[in-house]
Structure 1
Amino acid sequence: MEQDSLPTEVILTHPRRSLGNVQLDWSPQPGAYLDLEGQTYAVLERRHRYQLNLGRYRLHKVALYVQTAQRPLERSFVDGRWFLGDASCEFNARSELVRCAVNPDGPCEGCRHYSPLD
């Protein structure tokens, strides 16, 4: 195993089942998208699993809880983070998982609820 690779178990949240173990060379956080065996998944939760080895706890593997998803076409990059939808709208949730309260499924373009931030 290379130093930069991370043993990761990918777990589908509904219906709950393991999709298998993979080696990742990046650390997906909640809100990120992961392509696995031709399917795209949204990362909902990330849990670290540690193992006691020679009196010290060491990171053993990571568990990613995911759901099937399509990569969003509308994203905004603000202050070093990606958000779903148009971040210039006051109703935008500023979240990687939820677009907004009034039109969560989108699209933002042409939305009748659009209201620019002050």
Structure 2
Amino acid sequence: MDQTHLPTEVILCHPQQTLAHLTLDWNPQPGALLEVEGRTYKVLERRHRYHLKAGRYQLHKISLYVQTAPRAAESSLVDGRWVIGDATCQYNAHSELLRCTVNPDGPCTDCRDYEPLERSASE
């Protein structure tokens, strides 16, 4: 089985119910946003399911436990993952869960605490 395209079960935490059975080409980590049938969900937990085959355990599928979440109006792509807020600000947390240290509720637009990210001399 191709390990990059594993069957994935998406499970809503409350009330607990299966939302979808998908095949994803990426591995969502807790905190990541996932769209299923036009709705946005935040991944809370990821569990791996294994099967014993020929005396060895092989990854069979992934279960994602999610909750509904609003799509962040402000997001930035950093190292291949989406983070909340303006990643060009030095206060940005570069996180899927927290926007920044001085203005965690946002918005980043017209924030009085905005400080451009300082680049090191090696960049």
Name the TM-score, length of structure 1 as normaliser: 0.77
Give every structure 1 segment of 4 or more consecutive aligned residues whose post-TM-superposition deviation is greater than 4 Å.
2-5
**Larger CA deviation: 33-42 vs 89-98:** 33-42
1:100 matched to 2:103? The reply is no
RMSD between aligned residues: 2.4
CA contact (8 A) 1:29 1:45 kept: no
Alignment of 1:11-90 (within 5 A): 11-13=11-13, 15=14, 17-30=16-29, 31-90=31-90
> Does structure 2 conserve the Cα–Cα contact (< 8 Å) formed by 1:28 and 1:43?
no
Distance 1:38 1:117, change over 3 A: closer
| Alpha-carbon distance, 1:17 to partner | 1.1
* Cα distance in 2, alignment partners of residues 23 and 80 from structure 1: 21
Q: Is the 8 A contact 1:76 1:86 kept in 2?
A: yes
Q: How many residues get paired? A: 116
> Unaligned regions of 5+ residues in structure 2, if any?
119-123
Q: C-alpha separation between the residues in 1 aligned to 2:76 and 2:37?
A: 27
Identity %: 57
Q: Which range moved further: 4-13 or 64-73?
A: 4-13
Q: Please, which runs of 5 or more residues in structure 1 have no aligned partner?
A: none
Which stretch of structure 1 is more off in the superposition, 32-41 or 93-102? 32-41
